[in-house]
Amino acid sequence: MMRHFQAAVRVLAIAAAGIVLAAAPAAAQADVAAADGYAPARTPWDHPDLQGIWDSKTQTPLERPAEFADKEFLTAEEVAALERQTIENAGRDERAEAGTVADVEGAYNNAFSTFYATRVVETGRTSLIVDPPDGKIPYTAAGRQRVDAEAERRQATREDADGPEDRPSDRCLGFTLPCTSPLCAFSRIVQTPDSVTLYYEAGHWGGAYRTIPLDGRPHGPAHVRQWHGDARGRWEGDTLVVDTTNFASSAGFQGASEQMQLVERFSRVADDLLMYHATIADEATFAQPWTIEMTWRRGDNKQNLIYESACHEGNYALTSILAGARVLEGAR
């Protein structure tokens, strides 16, 4: 905990000096490293060394909550209170009334749940979104309508599924990028002179590998679509910049279309801290590009505790859910 607050104080001081600039994350990250007097270790081929296991779990929400509408940063006291409240909250370990839907849905308690994140991001921000300044996703009117309609459809089919496509959590579709959920608990970064590979440990969604070439090759043809897109990387100073396009039509982040472009920036600002920025652009869904910021903390690389994530598609739960729905239909 002490190390956490020391890191938070360090980054908050930089933010207070006006150096962390959400609108220009690449320049901001370069300034962070320079202001802190930190020079990252380098690989034998002279690239900044980002390798190792990094922990991105956080309870900081994507969008700014209403109670912090005009507040970009939390105080150290507010951070401590939020983290203490989360730790003390019984969460899913507190049983609902036996036999109720809530009791069945909570059958997997906190011991089985990787999403139980306790810490606020190291910067103390009130939301992961840093641009726009209000901390909200800048949907167009049409984008908002489409996202709301899809959410309504999913809620309606949650207990009355017509098939496995109506049960995305049982369908093993995997996570979408950028992965902001605490289910993306750890990431491992491995570097070579010509590429960077990331492995995401993502709970029951199923993990994923991304290999990002650094050799300047162009993106693949537009008709070739992938769930995690087609990534190309380059170095801007000590910052790794990853430009990803060609996403599958159903893999857009927060309702984005297949035209989404994702630009990620990774910069190591301390031995135990990596700054991550991601800018999402999609004119069909958002009124402007918008940016999130996360702090990835160095994991215990000596213990090497990172595991393959697996999602068991086609398990008995899905068969039973659909069979039960057909029985209910026959009884009507």
The type of residue at 163 is: G
pLDDT at 265 over 50: yes
> Residue 140 corresponds to which tokens in the numbers above?
């167009």
Higher pLDDT, 45 or 85: 45
> Domain map of the chain by residue range?
2-331
| pLDDT for 94 | 64
pLDDT tens sequence across 217-233: 999 999 999 999 999 99
- 126-139 confidence digits (pLDDT tens): 999 999 999 999 99
Q: In the structure, what pLDDT confidence band is assigned to residue 109 with cuts at 50, 70 and 90?
A: low
- DSSP class of residue 70 equals T
Confidence of residue 90 (pLDDT cuts 50, 70, 90): low
Using one digit for the tens of pLDDT, what is the confidence trace for 312-331?
776 676 677 778 888 888 87
CA distances from 53 to 2, 114, 167, 242, 304 (A): 21, 16, 32, 19, 8
- The answer to whether 95 and 258 are in contact (CB under 8 A) is no
Q: What is the pLDDT of residue 103?
A: 74
| Secondary structure letter of residue 303 according to DSSP | T
H-helix or E-strand spanning residue 16:
helix 2-16
Res 153: pLDDT: 85
The pLDDT tens digits of the residues spanning 124-171 come to 999 999 999 999 999 999 999 999 998 888 888 776 667 777 776 677
pTM: 0.81
How far, in Å, CA of 195 to CA of 215, rounded? 8
- DSSP code string of 207-242: -EEEEEE-S-PPPPPTT--BTT-EEEEEEETTEEEE
